[in-house]
C-alpha cells in the first residue's frame, strides 16, 4: 500500500513556512517561487481580515493583489457563510454535465438580465460556462470561427492580454510569451490600441469582408491600465456593425464592477459587443468560474441542434461554481459595488497623481479606472549601461518596485504586459479607512526612495545577483 507523505489534516494543522517553500520549489513552478522567495514577498500568508494579509513574521499588509480576481477580499464572511449553507443543504448533483442544474439556470438568468438591462439587444443571448478567463476566450474564438467560417482575419491590439492557452495566446501579442509556442493561430492582425484611424486603414487594406472579428479589452489591464479615447469603442462598434464584423469584448478584468461598471465596454464605451467574456470576479476569489456570452444566432451556429456537443468542458457549470457565481453577482449588484469603485477611482487617482508630481524621478506615470490603479516606474538603471536591454531593465524596475511596496505594507500585482508597471487592485468592499491607509503607505514608501535608482541601490547585492542569474 502506498502511503502519501502529507495528509489533509497535516495541512489543516499548518505546514511550516520552511516546509511549504521546500515543497513548492521542488514540485511546483520552482524558479518562479524561488524568485518570489528571494525577494521576500512569497509568504505564505494567512488572512488577518478580508482586506489584510499576515506573513510568517506576523507583519500585516494591505492586500491590493490577486490580479483583480477577488472582488470582496479573502474569506469574505457573507460569501463564506453562503458556501457553508450551500454545502450543508444542497441535494442535487454537483457535476450536472448531462443534467439540469438549478444553480446554473439561476446564474444564466441573472447574468442575461443584468446584461439586457444595459444592452436590450442581448435579451435572448446565451451563456457557455467554463473555469478560467483563457477558457472563455477560447470559447469566444470558436464561436467566431463557427459563425464566420469564410472570413480569414481576426484583429487584436498591441499589449492586449487575453490568456496563455494556445488560442488566447495568439491574441496576446507579447514576444516573450508567444515565441516558444509558435506556430500559433495565423491571420491575426495586431493594431495600436485606441487608434481608430489605424482600424479604418486596416479594413481598407485587408477588406472588411475578410475580417471575422475584433477582440479587445475595453481597458487594457495587464498592459498597465491603458485607457483608450472614449469615442474609440463606439466608433469601432459602429464600423464593425456596418461591415458585419463581430466584436468580442474581453471583460474578464473590467467586468462586474472592477472598472466602475458592470460592462465597461457598454456603459462607458458605448459599444454593444456580440460576444462578452467574464471571469475573475464571478468566482468570488474562491473558485475559477468563467462565462462566454454570445448573441443567440452566434451561439446556435456552434451549439445548435446536434452540434451542441461541439464545445464542452468537464467542470464548467458545476453546481458549487454556479452557486458562488450567483452569490458573488448578487453581492456585487445589491451592494452597488460598481458605483463604489467608480466613486473611489477619483480619490485614488488624485493620490497617485500627487505622488507622480512630487516624485517624477521615481514614478513615470500613473493611471486609474475604477478600482484598477497603475504606477509606471522609471528605469532603475540608465539604458546606456545595458544597450538593447530596455525590456529587461523595465522588468527589473517593476520587480524592485513590487518588492518596495511589499516592504512598505502593500501586497500589489506585477503587470504581465507592462513590466515596469505595478498595479493595485484592492477589493471592491475594502473599507474607506483601509483604502486611505493603503495610499498613505504608498506615499511613505515612495518618499523613502524618491528616485528609481534608489530601488536598485537599496536592494541587497545577493538579490540583484540572483535576479541577474535568473535573467540569463
Say which range, 205-214, 244-253, 380-389, has the weakest mean pLDDT. Answer: 380-389
CA dist 246 → 73, 148, 194, 415, 439 (Å): 35, 9, 18, 28, 41
384, pLDDT greater than 80: no
The mean pLDDT of 271-278, rounded to a whole number, is 98
Query: Which residues lie below 8 Å from residue 11, measured CB to CB, with a gap of 6+?
Result: none
Strand partners, 377: 363
Grid coordinates representing 252 are 474578464
386, pLDDT greater than 80: no
User: What pLDDT is recorded for position 469?
Assistant: 80
pLDDT confidence of 393, banded at 50, 70, 90? confident
User: What pLDDT is recorded for position 416?
Assistant: 81
419, pLDDT greater than 90: no
Quick: pLDDT tens for 121-170: 999 999 999 999 999 999 999 999 999 999 999 999 999 999 999 999 99
User: What pLDDT is recorded for position 91?
Assistant: 85
pLDDT confidence of 90, banded at 50, 70, 90? confident
User: What pLDDT is recorded for position 385?
Assistant: 78
Minimal CA–CA distance to 22: which of 7, 10, 35, 33?
33
**CA–CA gap between residue 56 and residue 59 (Å, rounded):** 7
Q: Are strands 52-54 and 410-411 parallel, antiparallel or unpaired?
A: unpaired
User: What pLDDT is recorded for position 391?
Assistant: 83
User: What pLDDT is recorded for position 205?
Assistant: 97
The mean pLDDT of 426-446, rounded to a whole number, is 98
Q: In the chain, where are the structural domains located?
A: 45-75+337-471, 82-334
Q: Is 84 exposed, middle or buried (0-12, 13-18, 19+ CB in 10 A)?
A: exposed
389, pLDDT greater than 80: no
Q: How far is CA 110 from the centre of its chain?
A: 22
388, pLDDT greater than 80: no
Instruction: Give me the CATH code for the 82-334 domain, please.
Output: 3.40.640.10
Q: What is the mean pLDDT of the chain?
A: 95
pLDDT confidence of 224, banded at 50, 70, 90? very high
Instruction: Give me the CATH code for the 45-75+337-471 domain, please.
Output: 3.90.1150.10
Amino acid at each position: 500500500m502506498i502511503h502519501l507523505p502529507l495528509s489533509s489534516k497535516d495541512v489543516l494543522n499548518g505546514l511550516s513556512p520552511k516546509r511549504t517553500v521546500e515543497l513548492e520549489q521542488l514540485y511546483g513552478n520552482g524558479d518562479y517561487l524561488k524568485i518570489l522567495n528571494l525577494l521576500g514577498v512569497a509568504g505564505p500568508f494567512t488572512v488577518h481580515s478580508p482586506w489584510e494579509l499576515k506573513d510568517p513574521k506576523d507583519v500585516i499588509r494591505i492586500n491590493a493583489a490577486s490580479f483583480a480576481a477577488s472582488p470582496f477580499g479573502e474569506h469574505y464572511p457573507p460569501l463564506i457563510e453562503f458556501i457553508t449553507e450551500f454545502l450543508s443543504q444542497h441535494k442535487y448533483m454537483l457535476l450536472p454535465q448531462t443534467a439540469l442544474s438549478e444553480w446554473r439556470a439561476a446564474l444564466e438568468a441573472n447574468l442575461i438580465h443584468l446584461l439586457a438591462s444595459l444592452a436590450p439587444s442581448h435579451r435572448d443571448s446565451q451563456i457557455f460556462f467554463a473555469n478560467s478567463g483563457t477558457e472563455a476566450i477560447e470559447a469566444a474564438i470558436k464561436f467566431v470561427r463557427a459563425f464566420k467560417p469564410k472570413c480569414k482575419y481576426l484583429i487584436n491590439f498591441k499589449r492586449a492580454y487575453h490568456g496563455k492557452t494556445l488560442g488566447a495566446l495568439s491574441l496576446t501579442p507579447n514576444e516573450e510569451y508567444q515565441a516558444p509556442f509558435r506556430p500559433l493561430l495565423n491571420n491575426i492582425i495586431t493594431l495600436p490600441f485606441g487608434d481608430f484611424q489605424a482600424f479604418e486603414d486596416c479594413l481598407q487594406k485587408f477588406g472588411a469582408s475578410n475580417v471575422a472579428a475584433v477582440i479587445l479589452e475595453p481597458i487594457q489591464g495587464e498592459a498597465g491600465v491603458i485607457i483608450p479615447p472614449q469615442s474609440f469603442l463606439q466608433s469601432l462598434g459602429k464600423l464593425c456593425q456596418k461591415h458585419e464584423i463581430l466584436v468580442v469584448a474581453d471583460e474578464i478584468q473590467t467586468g462586474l464592477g472592477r472598472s466602475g461598471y458592470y460592462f465597461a465596454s457598454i456603459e462607458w464605451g458605448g459599444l454593444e459587443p456580440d460576444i462578452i467574456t467574464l471571469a475573475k470576479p464571478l468566482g468570488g476569489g474562491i473558485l475559477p468560474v468563467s462565462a462566454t456570452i454570445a448573441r443567440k444566432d452566434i451561439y446556435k451556429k456552434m451549439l445548435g441542434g446536434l452540434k451542441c456537443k461541439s464545445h464542452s468542458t468537464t467542470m464548467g457549470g458545476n453546481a458549487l461554481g454556479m452557486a458562488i457565481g450567483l452569490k458573488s453577482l448578487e453581492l456585487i449588484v445589491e451592494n452597488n459595488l460598481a458605483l463604489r469603485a467608480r466613486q473611489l477611482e477619483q480619490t485614488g487617482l488624485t493620490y497617485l497623481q500627487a505622488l507622480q508630481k512630487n516624485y517624477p524621478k521615481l514614478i513615470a506615470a500613473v493611471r486609474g479606472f475604477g478600482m484598477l490603479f497603475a504606477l509606471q516606474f522609471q528605469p532603475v538603471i540608465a539604458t546606456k549601461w545595458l544597450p538593447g536591454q530596455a525590456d529587461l531593465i523595465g522588468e527589473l524596475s517593476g520587480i524592485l518596485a513590487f518588492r518596495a511596496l511589499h516592504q512598505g505594507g502593500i501586497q500589489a500585482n506585477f503587470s504581465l504586459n507592462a513590466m515596469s508597471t505595478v498595479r493595485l487592485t484592492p477589493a471592491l468592499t475594502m473599507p474607506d479607512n483601509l483604502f486611505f491607509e493603503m495610499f498613505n503607505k504608498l506615499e511613505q514608501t515612495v518618499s523613502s526612495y524618491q528616485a528609481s535608482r534608489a530601488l536598485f541601490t537599496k536592494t541587497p547585492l545577493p538579490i540583484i545577483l540572483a535576479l541577474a542569474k535568473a535573467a540569463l
